[in-house]
């Protein structure tokens, strides 16, 4: 399956931001700095609030879980996962081959969170059933966990698209309006 059409954000970036000189970009970003900050905060603060509640107020646990998840699937998408059905990640026989497992030390180094803290939070995530250890005792996100995040991810995707459209409209120049 070939990559579909570019995202709205990619189109906007290529059409507007790459077309402008560095000084034009800087002027637009400076001119609208407060509004840009407000728009971005209007997206990130509610998202962090939702994640805060989803992880029972433990933002460190959320960061560690997110880092492990990101590390696990990065290999899949880096090696052509965009062209391979994602449902393959649910196949336990293939899962360990497709995903990149990690350990407490690598997560500590990636996040800057002390190793002992990562170890404690990983134990909590294991007890909650969000992670498991593979045959090499490395950390992997449990299959099916993403379904618990699917609705929130769909909502977040829509919010990102709306944010991108607002930023695009805000940073459009007079020349762009004539295209």
CATH of residue 84: 1.10.10
Of 16, 14, 2, residue with least CA distance to 170 = 16
CB atoms within 10 A of CB 71: 20
| Structural domain count of the chain | 1
Tens-place pLDDT, residues 73-86:
887 888 765 677 77
Q: Quick check: 144 pLDDT over 60? A: yes
Q: According to the model, what pLDDT value does residue 11 have?
A: 55
Q: Which domain holds residue 153?
A: 22-171
State pTM to two decimals: 0.75
Q: Quick check: 174 pLDDT over 50? A: no
Assigned domain for 84 exists:
yes
pLDDT band at 1 (very low <50, low <70, confident <90, very high): very low
pLDDT band at 125 (very low <50, low <70, confident <90, very high): very high
Tens-place pLDDT, residues 49-62:
999 998 999 999 99
Q: Quick check: 172 pLDDT over 60? A: yes
Assigned domain for 161 exists:
yes
Q: According to the model, what pLDDT value does residue 7 have?
A: 53
Q: According to the model, what pLDDT value does residue 21 have?
A: 63
Assigned domain for 142 exists:
yes
pLDDT band at 15 (very low <50, low <70, confident <90, very high): low
Assigned domain for 163 exists:
yes
| Token couple for 91 | 């196949």
Q: If you average pLDDT over every residue of the chain, what do you get?
A: 83
pLDDT band at 13 (very low <50, low <70, confident <90, very high): low
By the 8 A CB rule, do 87 and 134 touch? Answer: no
| Token couple for 129 | 């059933």
Q: Quick check: 18 pLDDT over 70? A: no
Rounded alpha-carbon distances, angstroms, from residue 21 to 33, 70, 146, 170, 176: 18, 34, 41, 17, 14
Query: What φ, ψ does residue 70 adopt, rounded to 5°?
Result: -60, -45
132 Rama sector, left if φ>0, alpha if ψ -120 to 50, beta otherwise = beta
Assigned domain for 7 exists:
no
| Token couple for 51 | 């994640």
Assigned domain for 27 exists:
yes
How many helices (DSSP H) and strands (DSSP E) are in the chain?
Answer: 9, 2
């Amino acid at each position: 399956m070939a990559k579909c059409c570019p995202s709205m954000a990619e189109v906007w970036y290529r059409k507007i931001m790459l077309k402008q000189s560095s000084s034009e970009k800087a002027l637009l970003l400076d001119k609208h700095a407060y509004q840009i900050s407000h728009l971005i905060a209007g997206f990130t603060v509610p998202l962090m609030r939702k994640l805060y509640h989803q992880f029972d107020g433990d933002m460190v646990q959320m960061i560690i879980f997110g880092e492990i998840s990101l590390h696990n699937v990065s290999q899949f998408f880096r090696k052509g996962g965009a062209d391979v059905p994602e449902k393959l990640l649910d196949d336990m026989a293939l899962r360990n081959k497709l995903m990149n497992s990690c350990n407490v030390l690598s997560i500590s180094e990636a996040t800057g969170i002390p190793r002992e803290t990562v170890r404690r939070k990983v134990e909590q995530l294991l007890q909650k059933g969000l992670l498991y250890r593979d045959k090499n005792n490395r950390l992997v996100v449990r299959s099916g966990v993403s379904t618990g995040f699917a609705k929130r991810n769909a909502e977040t995707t829509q919010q990102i698209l709306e944010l991108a459209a607002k930023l695009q409209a805000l940073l459009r120049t007079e020349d762009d309006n004539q295209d």
